[in-house]
Amino acid sequence: MITLEDCIALCGLTEAEVLALAEHEHIPEIAAAALADYLLHEEHGSEKIRQMIVDDIRAALMRGDRKHAKELFSALRHFVGTHPELRLAAGAPPAGPSPPNR
């Protein structure tokens, strides 16, 4: 039988990132893992995931739950750090060596 941990491992996100999606969409974690897998294969899907996590951070701050906001922020940093297409979409230079000056 496939477990939640198996689904999370296969979807391309960490457990914290999947839990943030589940929180945002008000769905079970296993459904959030499936949603993550789907979105990561869609154009602009990673941007949608980033926005969901940002929305969760805002909601946590609005209700005064700073501890949870910090946990979500950590998940967001990891997500952005492991999805370079987000940096490119935001206009940041790609990670890696700079091109030589000519």
pLDDT in tens, 65-88: 999 999 999 999 999 999 888 876
Residues 6+ apart with CB under 8 A from 22: 28, 29, 31, 32
The per-residue pLDDT for range 20-76, each reduced to its tens digit, is: 999 999 999 999 999 999 999 999 999 999 999 999 999 999 999 999 999 999 999
Please give the residue range of the domain that contains residue 13.
4-89
**In-domain check, residue 34:** yes
Residue 10 lies in a domain: yes
Question: Is residue 72 packed enough to be buried (19+ CB in 10 Å), middle (13-18) or exposed (0-12)?
Answer: buried
Residue 78: the pLDDT is 95
| Structure-block tokens of residue 99 | 């091109």
Report if residue 18 sits inside a domain: yes
In a domain, residue 94? The reply is no
Closest CA to 23 of 53, 48, 47, 46: 53
Contact 19, 44 (CB under 8 A): no
- 88: CB partners within 8 A, 6+ apart: 94
Q: Is residue 59 part of a domain?
A: yes
